[in-house]
Structure 1
């Protein structure tokens, strides 16, 4: 899932923008829109768009580094087909998302312990408390219902060592963008009469981690994709003026949700 942006209403002096998303009152940076060049406009993609409503704003900066303010807030919504639908992906791979179904009760029992120690001073008992941690031991069981989804989740967990981004929808009492470490997902598969795996349940317990930083990796388009799009040199030369006009006069500001 992703949201594509066409930002054409920037301050004329804008040289660079940083795109922010606000979800449930929490404002974070969109990784693909971090200090992005924006001369005359900007087009970009939020590869980690959450389910449900989200508000976007871009902070504009001129060539000298002076702040020019924020753009008007823009609200986008990616609807969830069911409240128990979730997407699991590799935070570093924009194309790895797999749709899964959360088991009822997933994410309800939350633990955020405070590290510290209890001391006896004379006749008094005191506690030296540190900072409260992120969620630990969070039960997030889910299931997949096709062989392809089972293989995709297995491949994702294997490649990342359990580092995942889980996107859930309301009414789950969780961050809608939950970065987590699933160290031991424990899949259990049930074969269907045709011999396939059918439903696979994942008894996943995760520990929340801080938001992953840095731009997401986006797979490069294979050369054949360009061959298919521009079959001849003459065709590419003919289409070039249209492309150039679109760059000079970009579409109106807006968002296009894409699944």
Structure 2
């Protein structure tokens, strides 16, 4: 989901933006859209499926003073598949299909405990609840049917391998009516891969783990989809590249070149 505000629609003093999304009855900071320059497009890889997502940006001048907020813009992504990605490398996310969730995912039970205890003070007949509020989803049994070995390898790669360390957090997006947040950040402490028919020459594996909802990594951290290396790979000279686009913004939004540099 791309979000772009033309500089001509903003106060002339505007220099930077902070982009927010309202979804799942929560306010989110949009990854890659935090303290960005005016005229920069943002790709929201965390936009939920099947529910309204409402965006607006707070605008700042060069001194860091707020100039207020833009108007709201609401979108609904009509996606029936399950998508999973590493929030720091969203372009390498995978689509697992509409039937990817295993039948026993969640075991039909979603827990969001309220942490605290009942305390009985001296002389009191009734207890007093002392607590710190409600937590996110905990100990949710999550399982995916992965229909190819390539997808299984890519899934494992999102969690790191022998050469590359990753954060151990995934963003899982499911369509309704699955009873977890539509944008669900979960720790993956012990991913278990179960071969279903690989031993007989098939491709199907199941990946299962116990999911606990966590805060996402800092929203200012993200690997860009389109890089200058991609642009350099597409055009042999700077003059040729400059001639292909009316503005630098158009160039920065040519996602068809993403990944061209390998």
Q: 1:177 aligns with which of 175, 183, 187?
A: 183
What's the counterpart of residue 152 of structure 1?
154
SS in structure 2 at match of 1:47: coil
Any idea what the Cα deviations from partners look like across 1:205-225, whole Å, max 9, x if unmatched?
Answer: 2111123323233167484x4
Distance, in Å, in 2 between the alignment partners of 1:6 and 1:109 is 39
Q: 1:211 aligns with which of 212, 216, 237?
A: 216
Distance, in Å, in 2 between the alignment partners of 1:213 and 1:21 is 15
Distance, in Å, in 2 between the alignment partners of 1:149 and 1:98 is 7
What's the counterpart of residue 73 of structure 1?
72
Distance, in Å, in 2 between the alignment partners of 1:69 and 1:222 is 32
CA apart distance, 1:32: 0.8
**Higher RCO, 1 vs 2 (CA within 8 Å, ≥6 residues apart):** 1
Aligned pair in 2 of structure 1 residues 193, 135: CA closer, same or farther (>3 Å)? closer
State the TM-score, normalized to the length of structure 1. 0.78
What's the counterpart of residue 141 of structure 2?
139
Any idea what the Cα deviations from partners look like across 1:89-131, whole Å, max 9, x if unmatched?
Answer: 1122222312221124634411122333344444646343232
Distance, in Å, in 2 between the alignment partners of 1:13 and 1:161 is 38
Distance, in Å, in 2 between the alignment partners of 1:167 and 1:48 is 8
Aligned pair in 2 of structure 1 residues 91, 122: CA closer, same or farther (>3 Å)? same
Aligned-residue Cα RMSD (Å) equals 2.9
CA apart distance, 1:192: 5.1
CA apart distance, 1:6: 2.7
Distance, in Å, in 2 between the alignment partners of 1:95 and 1:163 is 15
> 1:45-194 residue pairs with structure 2 within 5 A?
45-52=43-50, 53-80=52-79, 82=80, 85-100=81-96, 101-104=100-103, 106-107=105-106, 108-122=108-122, 124=125, 126=127, 127-158=129-160, 159-160=165-166, 162-191=168-197
Distance, in Å, in 1 between the alignment partners of 2:166 and 2:234 is 33
The alignment of Structure 1 onto Structure 2 pairs a total of residues equal to 238
Contact 1:20–1:29 at 8 Å: present in 2 too? Answer: yes
Aligned pair in 2 of structure 1 residues 189, 44: CA closer, same or farther (>3 Å)? same
State the TM-score, normalized to the length of structure 2. 0.77
Any idea what the Cα deviations from partners look like across 1:24-82, whole Å, max 9, x if unmatched?
Answer: 332211121111121xx3322223232234221111122233332222222233321x3
Unaligned residue ranges in structure 2 (runs of 5+): 252-262
Contact 2:14–2:67 at 8 Å: present in 1 too? Answer: yes
SS in structure 2 at match of 1:141: strand
